[in-house]
Amino acid sequence: MFNLIFPGNQTADESKRQPPDTQAEREDDGSPEEYVARSGFTGRGSDQISFSSGDKLLVHAKPSSEWWWAELRGVIGYVPAGYLSQDAAEEEEEEEEEEEDPWQDDEYFGSYSTLRLHLEMLSDKSRTEAYRQVILSNCASLRNKVVMDLGCGTGIISLFCAQLAQPSVVYAVEASSMAEYTRQLVKQNGCEEVVTVLQGRAEEIELPEQVDVLVSEWMGNCLLFEFMVESVLLARDRWLKEGGVIWPSSAALTLVPCQADSYYAEKMAFWERPYGLDFTPLQPLAQQEFFTKPKFSHLIEPNDCLTAPCDVLNLDMYTLQVQDLEEIKGQFHFCVDKPGVFHGFTAWFTVHFESLETGGATVELNTGPNSEPTHWKQTLFMLDRPVSVYAGDSISGTIVLRRNPVWRRHMTVTLHWNINSCTEDTDNCQVGTKSFPMWR
Ligand code: SAH
């Protein structure tokens, strides 16, 4: 799947925040509006405020679509707009006018109806060849099997199945209107006897039978973003035969503490002395604007890894449950193997496809820095302040992926870390914690 950024959601780079007194969207009469928190939020830094679910906040200004200037019990600061809604009565009124879809399916499937994302995915050789390899290396076992390709897009995986193996049928399910073209592609390639394209959401589609193999390319940034995995789990429970196979069969998220010198220089150190002037008062704003959200599409050099990477999550696609996705926790313990500057953490994922043949080789798609780059690249989580580390130091802590309770395709990644230093001249232990919304 493509690392889609929903239209209308801003990336950290695009999220231009203005001070409240130059706000763009102040109410005409200038009086604050009351909002209710739909869920709790923990503010960071001195300019964000924390609140609990159900708290009533007064919104004074809406300097950007994402961050509002609000007041709670006399404390004033920035709050994430997506966590607030107007009071129940007003909300109902609004909903009558235009109901907001927590899955944003119109935007989501709308973007898969165009070629931009499919071009990006199909041009990603490591990704596409991994699926081809899975089918090729299992072609004997796929004979006469019933396959479901969930979210078939242009139908590439279904076409590989029909071309390289002899399944009895492949149900190619696609919710976006790309399905109309997929039908043509199936015909054009002479696969219409085997591949049946079904247009609709996998959750709503009816198949004439259960399937032996459920294959899907559902992975998003940081593995779970967009949460298409939920559709795969629901299809598994409804359509996969007892003893059937899911591809990918397991997935892991990997993390590494890293340097990010050039990104730091470009976004933060820049303000130190541009044109011989001291622009450092802009640094807190730069931190807010560029380091609040993770940086997608980061390509980490193997050399920028300060330690060996570590798998922080392992998901078994046979046992994973939809409710498990609400909050997933992992732990890490890294040993720094060379001196450097700890700017942040980089994350990537790997998925495995088990073999249908006893003793057959597992196929792996690894999106990390030691493999061929994929269109997902890696995801960088910048700390607010870089920390010097030395060989022998250890960095341990936890990662929590918390799904947004309202916006079902979004999540917040919270990292908590302890640096245990082995040198005498620095603090013995430094602790940090930071939450990164992706994107709401
Ligand atoms: N399998 C294709 C496309 C992968 S991208 C390939 O490998 O190139 C994921 C695709 O799944 C998108 O086309 C998207 O529209 C579709 N999709 C996502 N959720 C879906 C759902 N619940 N039901 C049907 N299609 C879905």
Based on the residue annotation, tell me whether 217 is a catalytic residue of this protein. yes
How much is the average pLDDT of 120-143?
98
Same domain? 127 vs 266: no
How much is the pTM?
Answer: 0.81
Q: Both 125 and 179 in a single domain?
A: yes
Residue 328: what are its φ and ψ, rounded to 5°? -120, 130
Q: What is the pLDDT of residue 42?
A: 85
pLDDT surpasses 70 at 436: yes
Q: Tell me, what CATH number does 267's domain have?
A: 2.70.160.11
So what's the pLDDT on residue 426? 56
> Does 290 score more than 70 pLDDT?
yes
Task: Determine whether the shortest distance from the Cβ of 202 to ligand 1 is under 6 A.
Answer: yes
For residue 405, whether the previous peptide bond is cis, meaning omega lies within 30 degrees of 0, is no
**Residues 172, 202: Cα–Cα separation, whole Å:** 10
Burial call 63-91: b when 16+ CB within 10 Å, e when fewer: bbebbbbbebeeeebbbbbbbbbeeeeee
pLDDT given for residue 40 in this prediction = 83
Catalytic-labelled residue, pool 66, 174, 226, 230: 226
| Closest residue by Cα to residue 357 from 139, 159, 166, 149 | 139
Q: Whose CA is nearest to atom 4 of ligand 1?
A: 1
The CATH number assigned to the domain holding 196 equals 3.40.50.150
pLDDT 10s digits, 389-419 = 999 999 999 999 999 999 999 999 999 999 9
Choose the catalytic residue: 14, 91, 92, 217. Answer: 217
User: Are residues 384 and 263 part of one domain?
Assistant: yes
**Ligand 1 atom with minimal separation from the 118 CA:** 8
Told to judge if 25 belongs to the known catalytic residues of this protein, a careful annotator would answer no
What is the overall mean pLDDT for the chain? 91
Q: Give residue 4's pLDDT band: very low, low, confident or very high (50, 70, 90).
A: low
Kindly tell me if the per-residue pLDDT of 26 is higher than 70. no
What distance in Å separates the CA atoms of residue 416 and residue 402, rounded to the nearest whole number? Answer: 14
What confidence score (pLDDT) does residue 47 get? Answer: 86
Contact between residue 296 and residue 375 where contact means Cβ atoms under 8 Å apart: no
Mean pLDDT across 411-439: 88
Classified as helix, coil or strand, 234 is helix
Domain boundary among 42, 68, 97: 97
Confidence of residue 89 (pLDDT cuts 50, 70, 90): low
Residue 196's pLDDT band, with cuts at 50, 70 and 90, is very high
The confidence band for 7, taking pLDDT boundaries of 50, 70 and 90, is: very low
Distance from the CA of 174 to the center of ligand 1, in angstroms?
Answer: 6
**For residue 428, pLDDT beyond 60:** yes
Please tell me whether residues 280 and 359 are part of one structural domain: yes
Residue percentage of the chain with pLDDT more than 70: 90
Q: Is the pLDDT of residue 95 over 80?
A: no
Mean pLDDT of the 420-430 span? 73
3-state secondary structure of 416: strand
**Residues 18-43: what's their mean pLDDT?**
64
State the Cα–Cα distance between residues 406 and 275, nearest whole angstrom: 45
For 220-255, b where at least 16 C-beta lie within 10 A, e where not — what string?
bbbbbbbbbbbbbbebbeebbeeebbbbbbbbbbbb
284 and 348 together in one domain: yes
- For ligand 1, pick from 4, 106, 109 the residue to mutate: most ligand atoms within 8 Å of CB: 109
Same domain membership, residue 69 and residue 135: no
Does residue 239 lie within any of the structural domains?
no
Q: How far is the CA of 416 from the centre of ligand 1 (A)?
A: 33
CB contact at 8 A, 32 and 76: no
Task: Kindly state whether residues 89 and 133 are assigned to the same domain.
Answer: no
Instruction: Please tell me if the CB atom of residue 228 comes closer than 6 angstroms to any atom of ligand 1.
Output: yes
Q: Is the pLDDT of residue 88 over 80?
A: no
Spatial neighbors of 318 by CB under 8 A, at least 6 apart, are 236, 246, 249
CB 231 within 8 A of CB 201: yes
Q: Higher-confidence residue: 12 or 200?
A: 200
Question: What is the rounded distance in angstroms from the CA atom of residue 33 to the CA atom of residue 192?
Answer: 58
pLDDT digits (tens, 9 = 90+) for 345-379: 999 999 999 999 989 999 999 999 999 999 999 99
- Give distance in angstroms: CA of 338 to centre of ligand 1: 42
Amino acid symbol at 171:
Y
Same-domain status, 29 and 131? no
Q: 22 falls in which pLDDT band (50, 70, 90)? A: very low
What is the pLDDT averaged over residues 256-281? 98
Same domain assignment for residues 262 and 338? yes
Of 97, 116, 141, at which residue does a domain stop? 97
Domain final position from 191, 217, 243: 217
Q: Which domain holds residue 274?
A: 251-438
Residue 360 in any domain: the answer is: yes
Cβ contact 150:127 at 8 Å:
no
Q: Is 176 near ligand 1, meaning CB less than 6 Å away?
A: yes
Pocket test for ligand 1, best of 2, 106, 108, 112 (most atoms within 8 A of CB): 112
Q: What spacing in Å lies between the alpha carbon of 414 and ligand 1's midpoint?
A: 28
Which stretch, 25-34, 48-57, 193-202, has highest mean pLDDT?
193-202
Residue 182 located in a structural domain? yes
In the reported structure, the alpha carbon of residue 409 is separated from the centroid of ligand 1 by a whole-number distance in angstroms of 14
Sheet with 33-37, side-by-side order of all strands: 75-80, 67-72, 56-61, 33-37, 84-86
pLDDT score recorded for residue 384: 96
Based on the fold, state whether residues 137 and 53 are members of the same structural domain.
Answer: no
